[in-house]
Amino acid sequence: MADAIRAFAGDCTVETDDRTHRGRVLVLVKPDRTVLVHDADGYQPVAWLTRADAVTVESDGPGFGLTARLDDRTLRVTADRIRRSVYPVTEAGVPVGTAPDSGGSLVRTGGAVVDLESGARYPLVAGATVLDDPCPDCGLPLMRADRGDTFEVCIDRGCDPLDDAVRERFDRAWSCPDCGSDLRIVRRRGRLLAGCDAYPDCETALTVPSGVVVDDCPCGLPVFETATGRRCLDGTCDRWSG
């Protein structure tokens, strides 16, 4: 079921913990339980509660009451008569194409590409650029990401995983600075790592940064060009002078 905004309009009394308003207002309840009360003046609501713990709506014939609570704060709206509507809504973002299966618009928002028709969500890796070119296998957009090298892979990680591309390029390419074993490209606890092949006997694990390899560090590990400058794969290494 699609997310929806509930709208209530009428001559209402609006009570918060420190003040009371009265007037003809529009009350919006968003899918994340954010409540906004708008009047005729300006863009800022006269009262609001962001991501309330609970929102309850009471109706007794034409009578109406809405109560939202968050921690020790309360917002209450009451009216003798109310008009109400429900409007399906989606996320809004920058258009990046059309979904090949559903035909829905694809938008980039909140670190992901979202299919507005099906609701499918494709999380993007940090620093990724969504390309105009489609994936040759599924038709979704490709993304470009730097992880030691520049890779162009599908936004659907189940179709063409970035991890697999990085692993094919850099698995066993470097040696563990602590024991000399090969460093393997692995994912642990949501992070892409160059982890020691001798694990768990050697627990060395270095995060693969968002950047490309441009040099060698005196410690033997690669140097990455990142958005904040050059750094050794080992972020704690003090031997790279730049």
Q: What is the pLDDT of residue 60?
A: 79
Q: Give CA–CA dist 187/206, Å, rounded.
A: 11
Between vectors from CA 235 to CA 232 and to CA 237, what angle results, nearest 5°? 70
Q: Give CA–CA dist 72/47, Å, rounded.
A: 16
Considering only CA atoms, which of 153, 151, 115, 117 is closest in space to residue 133?
153
Q: Give CA–CA dist 60/81, Å, rounded.
A: 10
Q: What is the pLDDT of residue 205?
A: 94
- pLDDT averaged over the chain? 93
Q: What is the pLDDT of residue 242?
A: 66
**Cβ partners under 8 Å of residue 214, min gap 6:** 223, 224, 225, 230
User: CA of 202: how far to CAs of 193, 222, 234, in Å?
Assistant: 14, 20, 15
Q: What is the pLDDT of residue 90?
A: 86
Among positive and negative, which fits the CA dihedral 156, 159, 164, 166? negative
Confidence of residue 59 (pLDDT cuts 50, 70, 90): confident
Q: What is the pLDDT of residues 86-116, one digit of tens each?
A: 999 888 899 999 999 889 899 999 899 999 9
Q: What is the pLDDT of residue 47?
A: 95
Q: What is the pLDDT of residue 1?
A: 41
Beta strands across the sheet bearing 183-188: 183-188, 191-196, 205-207
43 DSSP 8-state letter = S
- Whether the link from the prior residue into 200 is cis, omega within 30° of 0, is yes
Q: What is the pLDDT of residue 131?
A: 95
Between vectors from CA 133 to CA 132 and to CA 137, what angle results, nearest 5°? 140
Q: What is the pLDDT of residues 172-229, one digit of tens each?
A: 999 999 999 999 999 988 889 999 999 889 999 999 999 999 999 999 999 999 998 9
SS (H, E, C) 124-167: CCCCCEEEEEECCCCCCEEEEEEEECEEEEECCCCCCCHHHHHH
Q: What is the pLDDT of residue 2?
A: 64
Q: Give CA–CA dist 39/176, Å, rounded.
A: 63
| pTM given for the model | 0.74
Q: What is the pLDDT of residues 110-162, one digit of tens each?
A: 899 999 988 899 999 989 999 999 999 999 999 999 999 999 999 999 998 99
Q: What is the pLDDT of residue 208?
A: 95
Q: Which two tokens stand for residue 154?
A: 């599908």
Q: Give CA–CA dist 222/216, Å, rounded.
A: 5
Q: What is the pLDDT of residues 9-40, one digit of tens each?
A: 999 999 999 899 999 999 999 999 999 999 99
DSSP per-residue string spanning 175-193: B-TTT-PBEEEEEETTEEE
Q: Tell me the percentage of the chain whose pLDDT exceeds 70.
A: 99
Q: Which two tokens stand for residue 215?
A: 């040099």
